Chains A and B, each alone.
Chain A
Amino acid sequence: MKRLALLASALILAACGAKPPPPPTPEQALALRPADARLAALYETSCRACHAMPETGAPMVHDRAAWDPRWKQGEAVLLDHTIQGFNAMPATGQCATCTPDDFKALIRFMAGREDSAT
């Protein structure tokens, strides 16, 4: 019984730890940039025009609640949707010179994830 209680506590703690951080405010979203300068330039020219503007309906940068359901689809699906366009998302996010690796890095940044999608 004691073991079960410990296990339950651990699960509760794990669940608390897994809780996504709160979404950024609109001002914080506007200020966010990837750390890498080249990636930041690509982000600023293309992705930011929608993913830092709440009125566009796009999932906001670092908004885990908006991104997590998408993240669960896996990197390959997200990459295809990015390159091909999907619903309101225009093809390549209007970045004509981004490579697939750029897109993967930009998706990871916007989704607030450092690990790969699974």
Chain B
Amino acid sequence: MISRRGALIAGGTGVAVVAGGAAAYKVATGDKPEPPSPPSVNADGKLLWRNWSGIQNAYPAARLAPKDEGELALALKTAQGPIRPVGAGHSFTALAPTTGTLVSLDAMAGVVDWEGDAAIVRTGTRLGALGPMLAEKGRALPNLPDINKQSLGGALGTATHGAGAKIPALHGDVTGLRLVTPSGQVIDADAEKNPEIFQAARVSLGALGVISQVRIRTSANRRLRRRVWLEPFEEALANAEARWAQHRNFEFYAVPFTGLAANISHDETDDPALPRGPDQDTEFLEALKGLRNLLGFATPVRKAAAKALLSTAKPETAVDEGWKLLSTERPVRFNEMEFHLPVENQLKALEEVVRTIEKERPDVFFPIEARRIASDDAWLSPFHGGPRGSVAVHAYYRDDFSFLYSLVEPIFRRYEGRPHWGKLHTLRGQQLAALYPRWNDFLAVRQELDPEGRMLNPYLRGLFGLT
């Protein structure tokens, strides 16, 4: 995310210098220590599993890594529940923790076949590894999320998406899938064959069984021109709609306590490659953190300092194949809440979130991300029934993130947002049923495929309103 604000590096470095000078003591003492961790091994000798940000953990009784569908089917049929599939552990919600069996598809990865321009991909494939595999055939996923460390299965299961008003989330390009159910049955599903299972399973939180492979549309592996530029937040708001219409991919970040926003666009080009330079995410975030630590007590001063330091930043341009540009490294961990709002509500919600954070939470320094995503028809897709505008709020992994629930989520809910399935939210049962017209249809398919609820951990039982 932050490297998409590479245009800010010059200013960011300046802030870092300031922060590293006479006030270094204040900067150092403004940082919180590493959050305490549960022990690596529990009293029963079980090994710790923990998610990427560190807020979810479990000590599974068993961990399985099947090598093929036969092993997977046997595992699902016989394993101790709750059985939870896990990829890279990037979800912030408690989708993966289990005291029963954790199933990883790391050993079931790769492109196994092609049907025209659609690739048959095993869902244990990490997105970062899939790029070069598809590029060998001159193809690419039409879009990618900010991070590419996730497994394909995990990304699909949580409706993970990229930025692009005309491009759907990853699951929107899935045209067929193979589901291994908790009873060990292997079901092929697409729009014609088992269509109800297909529409339920495309976004299914790993609750129907484990999807072992998918058929996914690809696009030509074109070079993209990436531009990153900075401007006042008000101008970014005023121009956002036109830019979503104009660019293949467009997103922008409101940088709280600076009055600024960073815009990022990607458009197809035949120009020669101009690779992106070294990633500067960490330095930029350190600069924002330094401003927070130094001047967090006085918002007007903090804003003035930020504007003075950051406004000299130069726009950044890079040209390369899309799979090399659309995702970025995220070396600084965080917790996150993202809701997908009706497009007419997105910018109003964003403005209110920024205003509220700047009024109530001077400890926040992470930029706030706004993206647009095309619609699809998967039953639990947040983009079911129309395009959505997403707003994502981040909190440094060492910082308190309770404000996401107390201050930010009420704004998103008032603007009729649907939560990202892998990111923090409190919605359950009937609250979700009111947002998803096919909610009960999904629950009916779930009941049919897993009547004993062996795929359900306590979090999913609560989410589905089954407790």
Contacts and interface: CB of A to CB of B under 8 A. Distances in A.
Contact of B109 (A45, A79, A83, A87): A45
Given A94-B52, A96-B106, A100-B47, A88 B332 contact: yes
Interface string A49-73: 1100111111000000000000000
Nearest to A86: B34
B121 to A, nearest CB: 15
Nearest to A42: B106
A15 B126 CA distance: 43
A92 B50 CA distance: 8
B171 interface: no
A56 B89 contact: no
B149 A49 contact: yes
Nearest to B280: A55
Given A45-B109, A94-B89, A85 B104 contact: no
Chain A interface size, as a band, is: 20 to 34
User: Which of A58, A84, A99, A100 has the most CB atoms of chain B within a 10 A radius of its CB?
Assistant: A84
A79 B262 CA distance: 39
Interface in B35-69: 37-38, 40-41, 47-52, 54, 57, 63-65
Interface string A6-50: 000000000000000000000000000000000001100110011
A46 B279 CA distance: 20
Given A49-B128, A49-B149, A53-B329, A97 B63 contact: yes
A90 interface: yes
B331 interface: yes
A117 interface: no
A91 interface: yes
Nearest to A85: B54
A14 B464 CA distance: 66
Contacts of B87: 96
Secondary structure at the B interface, as helix, strand, loop or mixed, is loop
Interface string B230-253: 000000000000000000000000
Classify chain B's interface size: 35 or more
B2 to A, nearest CB: 12
Contacts of A88: 331-333
A115 to B, nearest CB: 22
Contact of A91 (B41, B49, B129): B49
A95 interface: yes
A94 B88 contact: yes
A83 B40 contact: yes
Contact of B51 (A86, A91, A97): A91
29 contacts: A41-B107, A42-B106, A49-B126, A53-B329, A56-B329, A57-B331, A83-B50, A84-B38, A84-B48, A85-B50, A85-B54, A88-B331, A90-B52, A91-B49, A92-B50, A94-B52, A95-B106, A96-B65, A96-B87, A96-B89, A96-B102, A96-B106, A97-B63, A97-B65, A97-B104, A97-B106, A100-B40, A100-B41, A100-B47
Given A49-B129, A84-B54, A88-B332, 17 more contacts: A41-B107, A42-B106, A45-B126, A49-B128, A49-B149, A56-B329, A56-B331, A83-B50, A84-B37, A85-B37, A85-B333, A90-B333, A91-B48, A91-B51, A95-B106, A97-B64, A100-B47
